[in-house]
Amino acid sequence: MEKQAHNELLRRRMGLWALAATLLAAVVVMLGAWTRLVDAGLGCPDWPGCYGFLTVPQGADQIAVAEARFPDTPVDASKGWPEMIHRYAAGSLGLMVFGLAAVAVRHRRQGLPLKLPLFLAGFILLQGAFGMWTVTLKLWPQVVALHLLGGFTTLSLLALLSLRLLTRPAAVAVEQAERLARLRPWLLAGLVLVVVQIALGAWTAANYAAVACTELPTCQGQWWPAMDFRHGFDLTQQVGPNYLGGQLTAEGRVAIHVSHRLGALAVLGYWSWLLVLLWRRSESGPVRRATVLVGAALVAQVALGLANVALHLPLAIAVAHNALGAGLLLTLIHLLWRLQHCRRSESLALEHPTLTNREATV
């Protein structure tokens, strides 16, 4: 009994650590959006330092050394600091993830998750490499988009780890669980649809296409403006001398922007139908609360997207739009997690007959 209590305490501590890492990952995603939106992606021309220093060069002596090292890139502290703040936060997140992996390995016999923390540790190394390539390849849009998607993936995996460590099993009526289980393929399809939409958003940001259309509901005064999809989605495009500000034609950027709009309509329509269906088939508090969270995040995200266009991409709203995209993804993961437990509720009820009614619906 004492050993079981010790293992439970260890599990909870690791869960709180994972939750803190999840929150930091959300901050890193927001800082990445801020860095990109203020055009600071090349604020430091090297990696991982800044002009060879650990901080942005300050003072005449450091600036003289920095500009001698990189004569084609004058020091601009207003661009360098957003980039370095983002790197400091990302580096701190990496240390937290490696710490989680170390704890998981050390206490693997105490029932702590092992594969997910180890995968996260490996993935954070890959994400760091994409951060380096973002700079060394001069904001190549393919790398920028993948780096953004990697940030969302890291955040999602940390949230999943937190749920595994901190969420108690919820038992619901078997009949209800069977009804909800039939919706699982539709929910997974909806998750894929949201991931595709996030990828479109990443491609929109990487190619500076967010302001290609500046009015609603039309674009450039037309319902179907001139668009060049071949050029807009050309994954072999060349970059030179860098991609700051983008290099696509106007028609290529419009194609990306309109695709993102159409994707938003598809996500809104599909999930509106699915959430209504899910609400009707669910009776338990946890599933209904998770459903409401998804609906609220979806409505807020669409509203922020509309505000971005109507107000011509103000910084605060644009950063919030990126952050809430991650938030929508997290609410979907939380919903699917709840439904996964509902699917297993019959066995849980048999394994834990002492659960009170209140504990069974937490």
State whether 149 and 229 are in the same domain: no
Mean pLDDT, rounded, of the chain? 89
Active-site residue, 351 included: no
The count of domains in the chain is 2
Q: Which residue carries 């971005």 as its tokens? A: 308
Q: Of the residues 2, 8, 67, 83, which is catalytic?
A: 83
Short-list 130, 95, 78, 39, CA closest to 315: 39
Q: Which helix (H) or strand (E) holds 351?
A: helix 345-351
State whether 279 and 251 are in the same domain: yes
Q: Going by C-beta distance under 8 Å and a sequence separation of 6 or more, which residues neighbour residue 149?
A: 198, 199, 202
- The pair of structure tokens assigned to 355 is 């659960």
pLDDT tens profile 143-154? 999 999 999 999
- What single-letter DSSP state applies at residue 215? S
State whether 227 and 348 are in the same domain: yes
pLDDT tens profile 326-338? 999 999 999 998 8
Residue 340's pLDDT is 79
Domain C-terminal end among 109, 135, 166: 166
Residues in the chain: 362
Quick one: average pLDDT of 298-307? 96
Domain C-terminal end among 132, 166, 200: 166
Q: Does residue 116 have a pLDDT over 80?
A: yes
Residue 173's pLDDT is 56
Residue 1's pLDDT is 64
State whether 111 and 179 are in the same domain: no
State whether 115 and 258 are in the same domain: no
| pTM of this prediction exceeds 0.75 | yes
**Interior/surface letters 206-231, b for 16+ CB within 10 angstroms, e for the rest:** bbbbbebbeeeeebeeeeebebbeee
Domain limits for position 306: 171-362
Domain C-terminal end among 166, 190, 225: 166
Q: Going by C-beta distance under 8 Å and a sequence separation of 6 or more, which residues neighbour residue 307?
A: 314, 317
Q: Does residue 27 have a pLDDT over 90?
A: yes
Are the C-beta atoms of residues 180 and 287 closer than 8 Å to each other? yes
State whether 240 and 201 are in the same domain: yes
Q: Does residue 360 have a pLDDT over 60?
A: no
Residue 236's pLDDT is 84
Quick one: average pLDDT of 80-85? 96
Q: Which helix (H) or strand (E) holds 17?
A: helix 2-37
